[in-house]
Every structure is written in structure tokens, then in C-alpha cells.
Amino acid sequence: MNGQASAGDLILQVEHLSMKFGGLVAIGDLSFQAKRGEITALIGPNGAGKTTVFNCITGFYKPTEGMITLSRGDGSTYLLERLPNHEIPARAKVARTFQNIRLFSGMTLLENLLVAQHNKLMKASGYTLLGLFGFPSYRQASAESIDLARHWLEKADLVDRADDPAGDLPYGAQRRLEIARAMCTGPELLCLDEPAAGLNPKESASLNQLLMDIKDNTGTSILLIEHDMSVVMQISDHVVVLEYGRKISDGNPQSVRTDPRVIAAYLGVDDEEVETVLTEVGDEDVIEQLDTGPDSEHGPGSSSSFLAGPVTDTIGHSEGERVTVSKGASKAAQVDARKPAVKPKPAAKKSTSPAKPAAKSSTAKPRGGRK
């Protein structure tokens, strides 16, 4: 994490988190922290375990091991792995969005944001029919809910379409509406699962603007899963990188971006580009190692499993536990194995050193990765 954070600065502490599905270790002994008021990004190749971490934080999964501590601004703390699912948004003030948009597409934008405030309204009604019509507290809560919905429609640049069905919005606008809806619940931690997926550059820029606005003006902390590096590098304060359910890097965007383990494992690039970046870093031995078995499933578009494919390598997780994968599957592990050799080369050499043979491409050469 960037700098030393005191416990009071932290909104989230994940300690020794493990999540197993039968024999598959989706998360192995993962620890990281998120600072209050910051944007923390969780990145890594497909199948690295990012969504599983989110599912553990938001109560969709109960972790096999480990502790997830949420510290609210008022000093109260919650062990999320012990809290019943429905209490995580209500008491711990954690909200999330999903990889696949989940709006009520037949309802208007305004209705979507009012539904999100249903709990608050029902509480104000005293949970009675009479209360819905007669209680001043309900009338006040109802007016406040409309104000809040309007506020977030403005922030998301959607107020002009407040009365349109949500399903009629362009994709990027639906993503912003989802975030607006989550913000209507008053979260202290907002978990966003690939909010930039499928967005064009203009929509990505609007998303960045909305997230920066939330960070700067609400005090809400953001935990972000994202493959779009233009979003991650521009707006994150802190980046945690996963590969095969393990943390392979943790720091500010600049340090993560130049970490050879991350470059080798994943930086939103395909295998050929990884090679180019490693040539820049200057370790041709590492590049040579990658020739032994890059896995074609490491790029976007597919998920992976630790136990799939021919088993010739192992990856360490918690003490005494090793997970088997195919030869060369963990690129970060390959960089670790070659670590002493990873050092920058003089600039002159870099510029004259030809890139590794252009002939090496995912189609030109058989791959030894997982099937």
C-alpha cells in the first residue's frame, strides 16, 4: 500500500483470505488494505479471483478462511465474513455493481433510484399501509429520496432522461445509472465490478469523471475491478494485482505499472505485447522463459481454473498448500525465478535491441498453456 496507513485511515482490511470451490483455490491467503477516501483497484488476468474477492466482501460467498474488516467513519467495525448478507449494505454500508448490468430496464431512471431507497422509505412508513399515507416521517423521507435521486441523476449527467425507461439508455449511460443507484444507498465503500467494460473512450472519460467526483465530494471509498488500464492508471490511488488468487503486486499505479511481475503476468496486454514490454524492462532471460509456455487463456475473454490442463507446475498459496497448474502458467512466478536478472538496461541498448522476433505470435507458435 502507498505509505504507512494507521488503522483509522483504513476502510477495508482483508487478511489471509482464502476461497476454495471443491479442489479449486480461487483465492489463496490474500491480504490487502484499502484506505478511506481512496480509489483502490483490483486487477489481474481473467480468472485471477477478482470477482471472488468482491463476492466475499459483499457476502455473496462466505470465505473458506480469513477475515474482512470494514471500518466505518463513525468508528464502528464489522467483520464482513460473519455478517448476514442483507446486513452488509444496511449496516456496513457496502454497495456494489456487477459485471453484467442489473437495472430494472422497464422502470424509469428515477424509479430505479427510488427503488434503491426502498428500505429507508419503508422504515419511515413504520412498515404499515397507514404510515405510507399518513406519517409525516414518510412524506419527508419520500421528498428526501426524490431529492437524492435527482442529485445523482445530475451527477451522472442523466437528469434529462429521468422519465425514460432505463433499458432505453445507451450502454455507458446504463453503467453510470448503476453507479448512481448504488450511491443512493449512501455507501461508505462502493465496489465496482468492471464498470468500464464495453465502454467507448468518451463513455470511459465520463465514467472517470463520475468516479473522481464521488471520491472528491462524498468521502465514499471505491474498490474497483477493472481491465481498462486507462481507467485504472488515471484514477486509482492504489492498485492490488492478483494472479491465480495470489497477490503479486501492491502499490501506487506507477510502481505497479513498472513491476516486472505484473508486466509478465498481466497489464491488460496480450502475450506479444508482454514480450515487448519485458524487452523494454531489459530482461531477455525472462522473455526467453515466457517462450516455454505462455497460456493462451491468460488474456481477456475467458476464465481459467487452477486445475485445468496438463499439470507440471505448482503455485504456493497458504502455508503447506500448493496448487498445480500447467507448465509456465504463472508468468509472475517465472519472473520471480529469474529475479536477480531483472534490471533495467542502458537506454542506448534498449533502443538498438531489436524486439524479440516478430515471428513469435500467439498464432505462429504452439502454446504450452492450459487447455
Say whether residue 14 binds ligand ATP (CB under 6 A).
no
Residue 47 or 89: the one with the smaller Cβ distance to ligand ATP is 47
d(CA 210, CA 152): 10
d(CA 25, CA 119): 36
CB atoms within 10 A of CB 188: 21
Q: Name which position in 28, 49, 59, 369 contacts ligand ATP (CB under 6 A).
A: 49
Give the DSSP letter string of 241-272.
EEETTEEEEEE-HHHHHT-HHHHHH-SS--HH
Q: Does 17 bind ligand ATP (CB under 6 A)?
A: no
DSSP string, 183-225: HTT--SEEEEESTTTT--HHHHHHHHHHHHHHHHHH--EEEEE
Stretch that binds ligand ATP, among 21-29, 89-97, 232-240, 290-298 (CB under 6 A): 21-29
Residue 23 contacts ligand ATP per CB under 6 A: no
- Does the protein bind ligand ATP through residue 309 (CB under 6 A)? no
- Judged by CB under 6 A, does residue 296 bind ligand ATP? no
Q: What angle do CA 69, 92, 162 make, to 5 degrees?
A: 135
Among 7, 16, 21, 140, binds ligand ATP (CB under 6 A): 21
CB of residue 87 vs ligand ATP: minimum separation in angstroms? 22
Measured from the Cβ of residue 8, the count of other Cβ atoms closer than 10 Å reads: 9
Q: Could you tell me the smallest distance in angstroms from the CB atom of residue 98 to ligand ATP?
A: 11
24 binds ligand ATP (CB under 6 A): yes
Give long-range contacts, CB 8 A cutoff, 24+ apart: 158-162.
158/109, 161/109, 162/108, 162/109, 162/110
Binding marks (x or -) toward ligand ATP, 194..233, rule CB under 6 A?
Answer: ----------------------------------------
Q: Which is nearer to ligand ATP, 50 or 247 (CB)?
A: 50
Told to check if 46 binds ligand ATP by CB under 6 A, we report yes
Nearer to ligand ATP, 78 or 306 (CB): 306
Residues that bind ligand ATP (CB under 6 A): 21, 24, 26, 44, 46-52, 303-305
